[in-house]
Amino acid sequence: MTQYFSLADCDAVGFDLDHTLCRYNLRESARLIYNSFAQYLVAEKGYDEELLTVPPESWDFCCKGLALDMEEGNFIKLAIDGTVMRASHGTKMMTSEELMGVFGKKKWKYFTDATMASRTAKYYFFDNYFDLPGALLCARIVDCLTRKNNLETFDFWKDIVASIHHNYKTTAFKENTGVYFPEIKSDPGRYLLLCPTSVKKWLYQLKSAGKVLFIMTNSHSDYCRLLCEYIIGNDFTDIFDIVISNALKPGFFSHQPNKRPFRTLENDEEQDELPFLEKPGWYSQGNSDHLYELLKKMTGKEQPKVVYFGDSMHSDIFPACHYSNWETVLILEELSGEEGMEPESNESEPLEKKGKYEEQQKKPLHSFSKDWGSFFVDGNLESTESSMAFTWFCKRIHDYSTIVIPTLEAIADLPLDYKFTRFSPDKSKTVGYYPKPPLVLLSNGESLTTK
């Protein structure tokens, strides 16, 4: 594999939608997602009303890469060797003595290796901005049940799943049910950031260069259409050759040999199963093998090179790399949200909207949490500040991403033949990030331990 990655070498360019093509006002969207779960749990499942009010300082608990032990109610930050770097019971952080007593120096009981599952019936990794409000809610549920019922084991996850189904089932948008979709539809400007002019020009540049462009999202078609028309415009279908909604990632990549068929759509309702894809268009569900066959036909190449942009290691980056051998670009907004860096402006947004939501657009969720430390590195039970190690999640970034960028806007003004230095096992751990590595990696340099 070459040392460099260039979009000019790619034949097809694919995009996830939420938090990739479509960026959100994270402060507002986090509150909305949290409320969509909490209101259901209180009204329908009898959970304590204190869950409805979130103290501002509580948002610091949110940090990507945490695992929830569903039965024990513990949140865990892992090193790449499977040992525990930090942990909490609910929102209560464990002291070093408590960590040693609960976990010792052993690997976490569910840890296998770098390719371990991100979600099972026993644990759940929170790896994207849609997940994070749910992490805070689960932690506060553990607090409530521990304090009031003195529980030591927990069985609330089934209620979390029920709340997700209530608010985000495929019919919720059309039926205007739940909390989330009605609120987005009534005031999209409160939650959605318009696609910058530079990104729209870049997309047209890719298309003019002969690239096949596609969107692949887990969102249902009606919500996908609302997002694309609002952030890009009604001409978004002129830009993208293929749109795949309700893709059910990561299964889109990994359900082999039983490939989930594509389905046609009519008035946002899924229709007939398709044995294969014959032409560009808008489809639902599907699988990567059948998509790749269409890309062969469209590009006229036997092995077209595909790159996929996404924000979720679990749903986007790992499966696209591991199962389909695609190039992958991880969108990691934490790179632009580090201390000392200003939030990016939404240059396409009308001035009146900018003024109305200017303060709200500052990111509430960063790569560094007072509770959890850095998303990228940390010490272990016996380490000091001079002995830091990569987190398990950071290792996954290095292993399965081609490069990492904060936003599409960060590369939109670059020539298509720009050569990015890709992640490589034999290169510095700070390469692969564009435009620059996380500050914490630069400050620790090569002193970071990898075992």
Q: Which residues are catalytic?
A: 16, 18
Q: What is the 8-class DSSP label of residue 342?
A: P
ω before 435 within 30° of 0 (cis)? yes
Q: Is the Cβ–Cβ distance between 216 and 14 less than 8 Å?
A: yes
Phi, psi of 20, deg, nearest 5:
-125, -80
Q: Are 14 and 214 in contact (CB under 8 A)?
A: yes
Q: CA–CA separation, 183 vs 188, rounded Å?
A: 8
CA–CA distance, 3 with 403 (Å, rounded to integer): 11
Sign of CA dihedral 2, 7, 13, 19: positive
φ, ψ for residue 194, nearest 5 deg = -65, 150
Distance of CA 182 to the CA centre of its chain: 23
**CA distances for 7 relative to 11, 75, 309, 325, angstroms:** 8, 38, 12, 16
Dihedral of the alpha carbons of 107, 133, 149, 153, in degrees to the nearest 10: -30
Q: Which residue is it, tokens 């318009």?
A: 194
Q: How far apart are CA 32 and CA 92, in angstroms?
A: 24
Largest CA distance in the chain: 64
What's the CA gap between 47 and 276, in Å, rounded?
Answer: 47
Taking the C-alpha atoms of residue 382 and residue 394, their distance in angstroms, rounded to an integer, is 20
Q: What is the full DSSP assignment across 272-335?
A: EEESS--SSEEEEE--HHHHHHHHHHHHT-SS--EEEEES-IIIIIHHHHHTT--EEEEE-GGG
Residue 91's identity, in one-letter code, is T
Q: Is 392 in contact with 183 (CB distance < 8 Å)?
A: no
Question: Exposure of 240 by Cβ count < 10 A (0-12 exposed, 13-18 middle, 19+ buried)?
Answer: buried
